Structure 1
Amino acid sequence: MPPSMTPLTVAGRGQDHPAARAPEVRLAVGSVIAIHREAIARLRLQVMREWPCLFAGGPDEAAALLHPCVASWRSVAVLAFDGDALVGASTGLPLADEHESVRAPFEAAGMDPGRIFLCRESMLAAPWRGRGIGHRFFDERESHARGLSGFDYTALLAVDRPDTHPRRPPFGRDSVGFWRKRGYAPHESIRVSMPWPEPDEGAVMHTLTAWLRPLERTR
């Protein structure tokens, strides 16, 4: 196993606690991601129902969201396993291989989708958070983009939520500080509209702001 794939470890917990076990991180590329489609969909239903996504779709809808990654030979899924159980997943693919509705706002801002690698959402079960796995997800996706070559930026999309949103947790934390530490910055001129169902609301149209980071050639 190469050094970049060495499992993470945490000491000082009982053996039965998830934090005492190191998750095994595996990569799936292109159509191979389909093997894990159902497990990733189940994780989405578990994790993305939380703030700020509030996704309330069903299993079929959750699985369908993975289609662009399965259809792209240049996509990647970074998967974290506790034994046979999938406890974390993040995906990425060239923006050029995404839906037109996602590409169009970048094009309108004068950016070439062929030069941007999109880091889609990351999902991690609660017991495994705060252990650096989120950084691992970005490390592996950015490394994959470098290996493909031809990309000037990596990007992510963050859903916009007002401070007054009724479902905002009183002590909820967002990922803004984490993204900034990774070198990402928001581009307010690039906003993507995307619908998904929320609890007790049905389908809701959401606005997502693009965050970009220059992709250096070596690291």
Structure 2
Amino acid sequence: MSRDDLPPGITLRALQGAELERHLDAVAGLRIAVFRDWPYLYDGSLAYERDYLQTYRESAQALLVGAFDGDRLVGASTSTPMEDHAAEFAAPLAGLGLPLTTILYGAESVVLPDYRGLGLGHRFFDLREDHARALGRSHVAYCSVQRPEHHPARPTQYRTNDAFWLGRGYAPLPGVIAEFSWRDVGDADESKKPLQFWMREL
């Protein structure tokens, strides 16, 4: 299946402004469902999500690429100008010598399990990179959580997305690590997690 071919009923829409905002609660539901699994182990709540996703309400250049099965949101990829995103993510980039205004930050790409393997990941990256170019950005960056190799919750057959990302032209930035807090499944309180930055020059 090519990147432009999707099964009947599945559509992709690039949303901004009021259309983006209208779907943010659905994005929250996807994040809660998908990130509950390894490696994020995120025990999410709608209240936490609404606070986190406020960035997309406030950023005029935020983008939501939504994958819809009919009217149901089944996958989502979000991005904002780097300077509009949370300071916890922007600060680690200060030593690169790149102005934040040259970077588009890709916050997440999440797809429900039944809709994986359809090429949505590639289309998410295509449209995110198109948006970066339209904004005059020269780089796209995102983060990936780091977990200990022998973490007790790590699935035996788990495969990282590294090969996919490398194939898209992205590479990890050595030593460029963000920290962000959330509550893991089974924990009573939030804890900080290290997140590795990846980047590509367009």
Say whether the fold is shared (TM-score over 0.5): yes
TM-score interval, smaller chain: over 0.9
Partner of 1:48: 35
The residue type paired with residue 141 of structure 1 is R
Question: Which structure is higher in RCO with an 8 Å CA cutoff and minimum separation 6?
Answer: 2
1:102-145 deviation line (CA, Å, top 9, x unaligned): 11110133331111111111110001101110001110110011
> Within 2, Cα distance between the matches of 1:178 and 1:122?
13
Fraction of identical pairs, as percent: 36
Larger radius of gyration: 1
Structure 1, 114-123 or 27-36: larger mean CA deviation:
27-36
Partner of 2:164: 178
The Cα of 1:174 is off from its aligned counterpart by: 1.1
> Within 1, Cα distance between the matches of 2:34 and 2:160?
14
The residue type paired with residue 185 of structure 2 is P
Partner of 1:103: 90
1:104-119 equivalence runs, <5 A:
104-119=91-106
Is the partner of 2:140 in helix, strand or coil?
Answer: strand
The Cα of 1:7 is off from its aligned counterpart by: 5.5
> Within 2, Cα distance between the matches of 1:105 and 1:135?
27
Partner of 1:146: 133
> Within 2, Cα distance between the matches of 1:64 and 1:194?
14
Structure 2 unmatched runs, 5+ = none
Aligned length: 199
Output the TM-score relative to the length of structure 2: 0.93
Partner of 2:175: 189
Partner of 1:12: none
Q: Tell me which of 163, 182, 191 is aligned to 2:149.
A: 163
1:42-121 equivalence runs, <5 A:
42-121=29-108
1:43-80 deviation line (CA, Å, top 9, x unaligned): 11111101111110211112222111221111100001
> Within 1, Cα distance between the matches of 2:111 and 2:87?
28
The Cα of 1:22 is off from its aligned counterpart by: 4.2
Output the TM-score relative to the length of structure 1: 0.86
The root-mean-square deviation of aligned C-alpha atoms, in Å, is 1.5
Structure 1 unmatched runs, 5+ = 10-20
Is the CA contact 2:77–2:107 (under 8 Å) kept in the aligned structure 1? yes
> Within 1, Cα distance between the matches of 2:117 and 2:182?
27
The residue type paired with residue 192 of structure 1 is A
The Cα of 1:32 is off from its aligned counterpart by: 3.3
The Cα of 1:81 is off from its aligned counterpart by: 0.7
Is the CA contact 2:141–2:197 (under 8 Å) kept in the aligned structure 1? yes
